[in-house]
Amino acid sequence: MTSEKVAKIGMFTALAMIFGYIETLIPLNFGVPGMKLGLSNIVTVTALYVMGAGPALAVTVLRIFLVSMTFGNMAALMYSLAGGLLSFLGMALLKKAKGFSVVGVSILGGALHNTGQLAVAMAVVENIRLASYLPILLIGGTATGFLIGLASARIILRLRKAEHA
Amino acid sequence: MKKKDVILAACILAIALGGLLFMKTRDHQKGSALNVMVDGELYASYSLDEDRTIRLSLDGGENTFRIENGSVRMLSADCPDQYCVEHAAISADHETIVCLPHRLVLEIRGGEEKDVDA
Ligand SMILES: [Zn+2]
């Protein structure tokens, strides 16, 4: 791994932490467990396109551990990890498939993020009934994924332009 | 945005709408009892016919909820996320209010459908 790559991973992780922090400041409560704005996903999506799957995974895992340890707790870590990894896996696979843009990849990521968090919530309270939250979480994840995809697409375009300049 | 993106989004939304419709068809009847589940185990059960306020002191923390006119609402809780307090009141069979940090689930159960005249 080159030092340039390490530096980039560090920079992306720092950015993701800032987004994660901003999100804790936004008093937006959807009233559904597991539902979040997922601002840090902008960084994961961007890292996936700019640096590839390996470094993007490193950024995602680092960000989740650091944000949970700084602003959250162990329970928060479990939800974030389940949501973050499931979402990352889906996005990395969809990016490899032909015919999807950043927005499509991000939409799947948003939907899977919420699904992963709900799955952990169901395991924690040992209640399968929580599945009734899934439709709302899927709709919410699609909407936030769409917006985050649009934002990420712009950032990716700028970064690529900057690299070639 | 490409064509496949739109198809993907449509598929996810179709699953979500299907789930919502499915729940609409089976969760419309009024409940008759409230089950309090802690860590997946039945902790207590209350009739919805009787209005009362109940304060629970659990390992995770405190939750106070009220049963009134057949519906249940979380009045207060000392959990960090407060999702349970902001949740709308529940009254129909199978509806739940979850307090994830306290591993607490309030769940409405059963209408009186078994009351069949022979
Ligand atoms: Zn709560």
Identify the three-state secondary structure at position B38. Answer: strand
Window from A119-123, B25-29, B34-38 with minimum mean pLDDT: B25-29
Using alpha carbons only, give the angle A19, B103, A89 rounded to the nearest 5 degrees. Answer: 45
A130 touches chain B (CB under 8 A): yes
Q: Chain A partners of B105 at a C-beta cutoff of 8 Å?
A: 125, 127, 129-130
Ordered by start, the domain boundaries in chain A are 3-164
Give the tens place of pLDDT for each residue, A2-60.
888 899 999 999 988 888 778 777 655 555 655 667 788 899 999 999 999 999 999 99
Instruction: Take residue A160 and report the two structure tokens written for it.
Output: 């690529």
Ordered by start, the domain boundaries in chain B are 33-109
Assigned CATH topology for domain A3-164: Arp2/3 complex 21 kDa subunit ARPC3 (1.10.1760)
B65 closest CA partner among B102, B27, B17:
B102
pLDDT score recorded for residue B57 = 93
A residues 34-63 near B, CB within 8 Å? none
CB–CB contact B100 A125 (8 Å)? yes
CB–CB contact B5 A31 (8 Å)? no
CB–CB contact B96 A132 (8 Å)? yes
d(CA A109, CA B100) in angstroms, rounded, equals: 23
CB–CB contact B100 A124 (8 Å)? yes
d(CA A19, CA A39) in angstroms, rounded, equals: 6
d(CA A38, CA A26) in angstroms, rounded, equals: 12
Give the tens place of pLDDT for each residue, A81-138.
888 999 999 999 999 998 999 999 999 999 999 899 888 888 887 888 788 888 988 9
Q: Which CATH class is domain B33-109?
A: mainly beta
